Amino acid sequence: MKKIVFTLLVFPAWIWSQTNLIDTSTWTVGNGTVTGFWRIGTDAENVRELGTDPHGNTSVLWKVVPDAGYDADGGWNSPYMAADHTKTYRFTVWIKKTNSNDGVTYFGPYAYDTGNNANTRLLDGTVNGNVYFFAGDLPQLDTWYLLVGFLHESGYSSMLSEGGIYDLNGVKVQNLTDYKFSSTSTQMRHRAYLYIDTNTSDRQFFWEPTLYEVNGQEPTIAELINPGGSGGSGQTVWNSSGNDIDYTAGNVGIGTTNIGTWKLAVGGKIRAEEVKVETNWADYVFAKDYDLPTLEEVEEHINEKGHLINIPSAAEVQANGIALGEMNKLLLEKIEELTLYILQQEQNQKQLYKNLEALQKEVSLMRTNHKK
């Protein structure tokens, strides 16, 4: 029996080949500006110190220590980086605020043209040079959140924002506002601040800013929350988040929590370059012992059932869907049966031609003898 192999190509979420465009390797214990990060506020308001990151590890955190002034209180602007306005980029940063909700937390992008003019656009196309994915108070104090924003390609035509604030369990707890490039944008920056916080007991912490091109090679949001899939906070990132994504006993649901026993259940459309499914094939039709239905039997089944033999009815498909591999096998079964019917008809036709030729010869001979 010939066997064809269809395999669904699914890669682990932690496999990527892109490098973070934001280099935090320069974050060393100290104050003020550091290579790649120009501080906002005074040196005293921008402190880098060892602390506990969102994964429970000891890391260098960027701590904001506000003074009593009604002004900038800490944070940074990243360096100018080359940007391709035909592509989409994803900005992220971890933020935690303590003590009070005084002041305003900001997180946003900048896009510039060759003349260094800020030209970031709203999704409706309006130019706004001072945009933020987020400006306000985090959902809760004393809790790490991953803030995610998207700067879309200049041709982005949707009004739908994809960004959000994620908690340590990977649940999106708040939507954020996305933006897009102008067609003349050539540079971009990453920025995160605390402003107008006059409460000197407040602290705001930043950690692990990232900037990735969205091309399928960037780490997933789930991987940023739970690197490697084990250990630290966020270990349950595959738990349900409404109908967004779900993980149950090794089975994954996307757009649905009704997974059942399926390894992957998707509540929506799937786009892929190739889908392969392992299944048996239908060459058994060509075996000598195959019981090929007669055309009379096929006609009788159609008249009685309203569909071909072995093919599910429309009602069955509507109720249960179809198994892709099994249905391809059954369709090939029908094609191979049709081929056999055609070959039979070809043999019958050849025999009819032979019989007709014999009859014509006999008639011709009879006419010749009659003339004599």
Task: Characterize the bridge pairing of strands 187-195 and 264-266.
Answer: unpaired
Residues 208 and 310 in one domain: no
Q: What is the CA radius of gyration of the chain?
A: 34
The C-alpha angle 348, 354, 359, rounded to 5 degrees, equals: 125
- pTM exceeds 0.85 for this model: no
Residues of the chain where predicted confidence (pLDDT) is lower than 50: 1-16, 230-243
Phi-psi region of 306 (alpha: psi -120 to 50; beta: other; left: phi over 0): left
Helices (H) then strands (E): counts for the chain: 4, 20
Domain membership flag for residue 121? yes
Domain membership flag for residue 251? no
Domain membership flag for residue 244? no
Residues 130 and 43 in one domain: yes
Q: Note the pLDDT of residue 5.
A: 40
Domain membership flag for residue 327? yes
Distance of alpha carbon 101 from the chain centroid = 34
* Contact call for residues 210 and 19 (beta carbons, < 8 A): no
Residues 55 and 119 in one domain: yes
Of 212, 237, 262, which marks where a domain is finished? 237
| Amino acid at the residue 322 | I
Domain membership flag for residue 293? yes
- Domain containing 168 equals 3-237
Residues 11 and 68 in one domain: yes
Q: Note the pLDDT of residue 187.
A: 96
| Amino acid at the residue 1 | M
Q: Cα separations (Å) of 180 from 112, 139, 186, 356, 370?
A: 12, 26, 12, 77, 97
Report the alpha-carbon distance of residue 1 to residue 287 in Å, rounded.
Answer: 9
Residues 58 and 189 in one domain: yes
Domain count, the chain: 2
Residues 78 and 158 in one domain: yes
Residues 201 and 110 in one domain: yes
Of 205, 221, 237, which marks where a domain is finished? 237
Q: Note the pLDDT of residue 141.
A: 97
Domain membership flag for residue 259? no
Distance of alpha carbon 56 from the chain centroid = 28
Tokens read off for 192: 């995160």
Q: What is the CATH number of the domain that holds 80?
A: 2.60.120.260
Residues 346 and 208 in one domain: no
Of 237, 269, 304, which marks where a domain is finished? 237
Residues 58 and 126 in one domain: yes
Domain membership flag for residue 43? yes
Residues 114 and 33 in one domain: yes
Residues 192 and 306 in one domain: no
Domain membership flag for residue 277? no
Report the alpha-carbon distance of residue 273 to residue 188 in Å, rounded.
Answer: 31
Residues 352 and 231 in one domain: no
